[in-house]
Amino acid sequence: MSSGESSSIERITAGGAAAALERLAGTDLVERGCVTVISVNAIRKRSGERWPRKRDAVWAYLGKKFDEHLAYQDIRHRIGETDFLVAVTSENGVAAQALSLKILEEALLFFLGVADFADMKVRAVSAIHGDELACSDIEPARVAGHTPAPPEEIVVSAYEAVDPAEERRRNPISFVTASGQNLRIDFSLEDAVSLRHKVTAALRIEPTVTHISSGRAVPARAFAKLSDDDIAFIDRASLDYAALFAGAEDKPQTPLILPLSFRTLSTRKGRQALIGVEGLPPRRVKTGIMVELIDVDRGTPEARLLEVTGLVGQLCKGVLVRLQPGRDAVGPVKGARLQGLTVAIVDLAGTDSQIASHMLNLAAQARGRA
């Protein structure tokens, strides 16, 4: 159960929603906290005897808002006079719940002129048994972004479940490359914030590789100078560190974004390593790890990229690709089925305004690609 839910369980019968429930069967959307029930009962209560004449307008307005905020693959279905079943496939946990709260908030503002927390009734679905939904109330103040936890608190909470001694053992890590260079890998944990919903949608593990003698950083674009074994070592160390934050298999966890090398994952041995890390079981990789390929460039064969992203995508929650800035930055990833595109700020040179311009240009190129 996510931190935004109360402990009281309520059961709702989703009559007439067989098709929607069938679509949910076999997915992990419930476990990820992505399935909610939105209630407009507050509008019905305020409408009184006018409700029978008003409800069609309310239903139509909710339909409009679903179309506006949800993706085509998301699920939305009315399961009663005032309840709507919503399953968000593009967000996880708190971010998905925040989206449902946003839709309800807009409906309350439109019909009542105000959206009080007491009227914002959204329930998280924790289990489905036949046509019966087990639900618990979501706390709007925590989830909707009205009183969000600061990023520092979110990162600290992720560390709270980690054994400090084990974290120190895995961070930093030093090794000697095939060419005799002494390198060090330091890991940090960053929060990836959904700009639309103002909540942390994922945690990202950032490995920083430096020369021990000079302290000079080795950017990902310079990894081409390292051997395959060197790259595989960095990736394995990243996986070992990610295992610290895997959490329990039977509980929803904030997704982890893990930068790894295309060179490593293009081999069978590399893909086996992805699901063979102690403390990071294959199911957790499938439901909670998003792989960010950091070394895809114009020299990457398109057919090979399509093959590898497809194979890796079967093992993890999703595949992202880091773009290399340029006039046609998305050229190397055209045709690949990706969950997202990223860019490293260190790869963008210039003044603040020039960097902002680069980012806007990259965003324009990336639109519709993932």
Q: What is the pLDDT of residue 233?
A: 94
Q: Which CATH architecture best describes the domain 151-366?
A: Alpha-Beta Barrel (3.20)
Q: What is the pLDDT of residue 253?
A: 67
From CA 51, how far away is CA 4, in angstroms rounded? 31
* 8 Å CB contact between 132 and 12: yes
CATH fold label, 5-143: Alpha-Beta Plaits (3.30.70)
Q: What is the pLDDT of residue 142?
A: 62
Q: What is the pLDDT of residue 152?
A: 52
Residue ranges, the chain, pLDDT below 70: 1-17, 141-160, 195-199, 247-253, 326-329, 331-332, 345-350, 354, 358, 362, 365-370
* 8 Å CB contact between 241 and 258: no
Which residues make up the CATH 3.20.20 domain(s) of the chain? 151-366
Q: Which amino acid is at 187?
A: F
From CA 185, how far away is CA 153, in angstroms rounded? 25
pTM of the complete model: 0.62
Q: What is the pLDDT of residue 222?
A: 81
Q: State the pairing for strand pair 256-260/199-211.
A: parallel
Which residues make up the CATH 3.30.70 domain(s) of the chain? 5-143
Q: What is the pLDDT of residue 337?
A: 78
